[in-house]
Chain A
Amino acid sequence: MTLISMKDSDGREEALRRMLLIREFDSTAGDLFADGDIPGFVHLYIGEEAVAVGACAALDEEDFITSTHRGHGHCIAKGLDPRRMMAELLGKRDGYCNGKGGSMHIADVDANMLGANGIVGAGPPLAAGAALTCQYHDEDRVALAFLGDGAVAQGQIHEAINLAATWDLPAVFLVENNHFGEGTPVEEQHNVENLSETAESYNIPGFTVDGMDVTAVNEAVEEARKRAIAGDGPTFIEAETYRYRGHFEGDPQPYRTEEDVERWQQRDPIDAFTEQLIDRGELAESELDDLRAEVEAEIEEAVEFAREADEPTPEEAYDDMFGEPVPEIERFANALRTDGRGGDPQ
């Protein structure tokens, strides 16, 4: 069963709710980062919501995804809990990774979400491997890799797609072309007009869809999933989208103008989908207001949860390295800590 059925009105409303939730989550994360509440780097998904939601809606709960450094949207679309996500961003023990991962490494293996990833292009080999597990166990499951346009220039994604295509692995490679690889325009990084042309070299289907249209993305991934489950191998989808914020929060964005951003905002994926639902009579303005209020409240609650959650204790830095612990970590931790260099000896 798909996560969200976009063939019925309840499903469409849920898709809208998740897009709103992503935008609210990331707007709030941007504010918290600006206030100094979130350490490190934050890469926001605002503007690209239709891709994550359209894609994950077409997946089964048991399907795997791999994500990118811009992963909050993928997490929410896959059904992760914004409270534990926000707690992770704030470095709290109740976060998905107990505070060890942060924004760039949010993961929930139990939900088959194999992690946001700080390395551009690292997800596709992992997705090929998860797809191999699905094939090996002869299960009707697939693995979908989200990757950015920048990742298409990485060597390891070629190896992953070649492997998946050669072995007919049930994988989907979904490129979010947001038109900039960090601060350099996509056309200055690739020698093809559409990134989906890449698919030809693997003899797999490849096409470009409007990534600002949640329905278009959903239909493309639905087809790709069917093909994967049927044993016909992977599909390469390029979704054309746009990020409204910088590559990271704090990016001065010398590579584009405000007008460039505004031009894309005319085609905002949430506004467009909302209009469609209102035009079809599936959503009243008042219901939309309720939905927005509900989403705002959910994110407010997530922030509250995250703020109140406990910090990890310093000793937890030594946990989770291995399934079967090694004596070295305890040995060196104790030696350094009693030297006074690692805080109070326990």
Chain B
Amino acid sequence: MSTQPDTPSADSTESMTVREAIRAALREEMDRDEDVFVMGEDVGNYGGVFEVTDGLYEEYGDERVRDTPISEAGFVGAGVGAAASGTRPVVEVMFSDFLGVAGEQIMNQMAKMRYMFGGKAEMPITVRTTEGGGMGAASQHSGTPHTWFAHFPGLKAVTPGTPKAAKGLLKSAIRSNDPVFFFENKLMYEQDGEVPTDPSYTAPIGEAAVEREGSDVTVVATQRLVGESLSVADDLAGEVDVEVVDLRSLYPLDTETLADSIRKTGRMVIADESPVSYGVHAEVVSRMVEDEFFSLDAPLQRVGVPDTHVPFSTPLEDEVVPDGDDVRSAIHQVV
């Protein structure tokens, strides 16, 4: 079993929500490095549409917490240019559904610049964005497109499932000299948990975290489905011993922690809110089949959105957005 590799060990903690954990990470990194600044739509005076950056504008001023025009290609592109020229921008894209507007700057500039230039450009940019259904926000404000960014060479992508992971991963993302996409599930902002208070605490990009140990089946979950899976694991205690892993990092992917887990349990459910085909699920399955074929005791199960968009009406939305019940059903398929 791999231990959680976060540094330093989280001795002193404080209970906070995901929203507060992200804000604390931004504050600590802005304090640590003057070149860190935040920009995006309504992140300043307004405090962010989900109130994540609330108070930072008053604390750090309009140079370091910058309200942009509604202009994703422009301000994401400016973020790329700023990162390549000596600053460390944290760019907020209000909804991940809008990332396509900035697609060119992400695909052909941000992701390729270092490589095309023979390694001679740094790209210390973090893109924070929101994902997920469950708010009745309909298809253009509810998507979970993180697979695209995990798939595209030259980008890194993380999906925290706990407040602790949110803080630690965002700090790592900001400190990284590579472009990192930080995907926040909108329904998690109020979720609380213990978070290390030491400003030197970070969670390495590329390492999953075992959130609950178990011996019968591994649930590899992301974002909101980590919490849902932990609840299911509690419900099933005594009946099925469920191990829950917060994947945390989509790319790079922590194959080793997943392999360690499946060697123990022989069974795996992958729960991620992205559409099922060609997704995170498939990548995890593929690596387990490649590396741990002879450890498998049952077919691997995928829980996600069944290849539709996220519809508006509540009964329709509830139908396609995965939750704990879907994780429970998947577990029962294999144990």
Contact = CB atoms under 8 A, between A and B. Distances in A.
A128 B84 CA distance: 12
A328 interface: yes
A91 to B, nearest CB: 12
Contact of B71 (A126, A136, A163, A319): A163
A66 B76 CA distance: 16
Contact of A100 (B80, B85, B115, B255): B115
Nearest to A116: B116
Interface in B111-129: 113-123
Contact of B81 (A129, A321, A326, A331): A129
Interface residues of A, number: 54
A100 B117 contact: yes
A146 interface: no
Nearest to B175: A324
A298 B108 CA distance: 33
Contacts of A194: none
Contact of A107 (B85, B117, B255): B117
A133 B86 contact: yes
B177 A323 contact: yes
Interface stretch (A27-35, A154-162, A173-181, A204-212): A154-162
A118 to B, nearest CB: 7
Given A107-B117, A324-B177, A122 B104 contact: yes
B82 to A, nearest CB: 4
A343 B5 CA distance: 36
Interface string A149-188: 0000001101110110011000000000000000000000
A159 B68 CA distance: 11
B178 A97 contact: no
Contact of A324 (B63, B68, B104, B176): B176
B253 interface: yes
Given A127-B81, A129-B81, A143-B81, A98 B119 contact: yes
Contact of A132 (B78, B118, B153, B177): B78
A98 B71 CA distance: 34
A115 interface: yes
Nearest to B77: A125
Interface in A108-158: 108-110, 112, 114-115, 117-119, 122, 124-134, 136-137, 143, 155-156, 158
B154 interface: yes
Which one of B69, B83, B86, B117 has the greatest number of beta carbons of chain A within 10 Å?
A: B117
Nearest to A126: B81
Contacts of A124: 77
A130 B78 CA distance: 7
B267 interface: no
A113 to B, nearest CB: 10
B201 interface: no
Contact of B206 (A95, A98, A119, A327): A327
A98 B118 CA distance: 5
Interface in B215-274: 251-253, 255
Interface residues of B, number: 50
A333 to B, nearest CB: 12
B82 A109 contact: no
Contacts of B109: 117, 119, 122, 125-126
A255 interface: no
B53 interface: no
A143 B116 CA distance: 21
Which one of A66, A114, A159, A321 has the greatest number of beta carbons of chain B within 10 Å?
A: A159
Contact of A322 (B68, B108, B114): B114
Nearest to B74: A159
A133 B69 CA distance: 18
Nearest to B73: A156
Interface in A241-267: none
A105 interface: yes
Interface of B: 35, 37, 63, 66, 68-69, 71, 73-87, 89, 104-105, 108-109, 113-123, 153-154, 156, 176-178, 205-206, 251-253, 255
The 10 A-B pairs of least Cβ separation, nearest first, read A129-B81, A125-B77, A159-B74, A320-B119, A98-B118, A126-B81, A323-B177, A129-B78, A326-B252, A97-B118
Interface of A: 64, 66, 95-101, 105, 107-110, 112, 114-115, 117-119, 122, 124-134, 136-137, 143, 155-156, 158-160, 162-163, 166-167, 319-324, 326-328, 331
20 contacts: A64-B85, A66-B81, A99-B118, A101-B118, A107-B121, A119-B104, A119-B108, A124-B77, A125-B74, A125-B78, A125-B80, A130-B81, A130-B85, A162-B74, A163-B78, A320-B115, A321-B154, A324-B177, A328-B253, A331-B255
